[in-house]
């Protein structure tokens, strides 16, 4: 047989073992154990690309604590075994702080993150290259969320000839854009066509296209 006793309180317990005419007594000393996980902040609302600080604390009646953050976006947490660490989530998600001790007790707590994704990018429709040294409107470049990457920015003539291209550049930097120069010469005033391939931090890709007018 497999007799058992469900113990709900700490204390000393006596078990009698019998086999025929023989018997023996076994004493059990049962102690209590508990573990509690708490997070300092359980809800974040951030913009795509921002970092957050996530903090947890553990109360443990045992002698050993095992702690870990469960990261649904692998690599987004800087240190998964640290009570306090930073994280950069790209999507809405839940981080789980989980702790256990050597006595088998386990507890967990949730940190929810909501990520606002601003995919608005601005491309100018008029540039004046004569202002390139003193004013931003002397360059054709993209502006918007600083964490967005322009994988490729190309400018063409109306007949499809490629006049300018730059790759893997950040937004909001005029000097990586087109300054109205074609093969060392100032572009004639007129309308030019552009195409931009954009990569967002969460892996989404998007293509923009339009035209820009050069004035002098």
Kindly state the tokens that stand for 133. Answer: 């040294």
pLDDT of 8 strictly over 80: no
- The pLDDT assigned to 147 comes to 85
Q: State residue 118's pLDDT score.
A: 85
pLDDT band at 133 (very low <50, low <70, confident <90, very high): low
Kindly state the tokens that stand for 149: 């990457």
Mean pLDDT of 88-109: 95
Mean pLDDT of 181-198: 94
Instruction: Evaluate whether 199 touches 211 at the Cβ level (below 8 Å).
Output: no
Contact 67, 98 (CB under 8 A): yes
pLDDT of residue 168: 94
Question: pLDDT at position 71, please?
Answer: 98
Res. 61 pLDDT band, cuts 50 70 90: confident
Residue 143 pLDDT: 93
- Distance in angstroms between the alpha carbons of the first and the last residue of the chain: 98
The predicted model gives 165-175 an average pLDDT of 92
DSSP-derived secondary structure for 9-74: S-EEEEEEEEETTEEEEEEEEE----EEEEES--EEEEETT--EEEEEEEEESSS-EEEEEE-SST
Quote the pLDDT of residue 14.
74
Judge whether 108 and 158 are in contact, CB under 8 Å.
no
């Amino acid at each position: 047989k497999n007799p058992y006793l469900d113990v709900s309180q700490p204390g000393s317990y006596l078990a009698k073992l019998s086999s025929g005419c023989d018997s023996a007594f076994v004493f059990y000393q049962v102690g209590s154990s508990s573990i509690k996980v708490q997070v300092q902040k359980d809800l974040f609302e951030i913009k795509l690309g921002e970092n957050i600080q996530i903090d947890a604390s553990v109360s443990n009646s045992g002698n050993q604590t095992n702690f870990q953050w469960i990261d649904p976006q692998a690599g987004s947490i800087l240190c998964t075994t640290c009570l306090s660490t930073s994280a950069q989530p790209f999507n809405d998600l839940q981080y789980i702080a989980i702790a256990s001790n050597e006595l088998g007790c386990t507890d967990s707590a949730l940190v929810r993150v909501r990520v606002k994704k601003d995919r608005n990018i601005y491309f100018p429709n008029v540039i004046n290259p004569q202002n390139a040294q003193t004013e931003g409107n002397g360059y054709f470049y993209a502006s918007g969320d600083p964490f967005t990457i322009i994988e490729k920015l190309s400018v063409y003539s109306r007949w499809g000839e490629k006049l300018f291209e730059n790759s893997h550049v950040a937004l909001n930097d005029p000097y990586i854009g087109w300054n109205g120069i074609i093969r060392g010469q100032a572009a004639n005033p007129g309308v030019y066509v552009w195409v931009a391939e954009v990569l967002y931090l969460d892996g989404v890709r998007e293509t923009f296209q339009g035209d820009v007018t050069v004035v002098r």
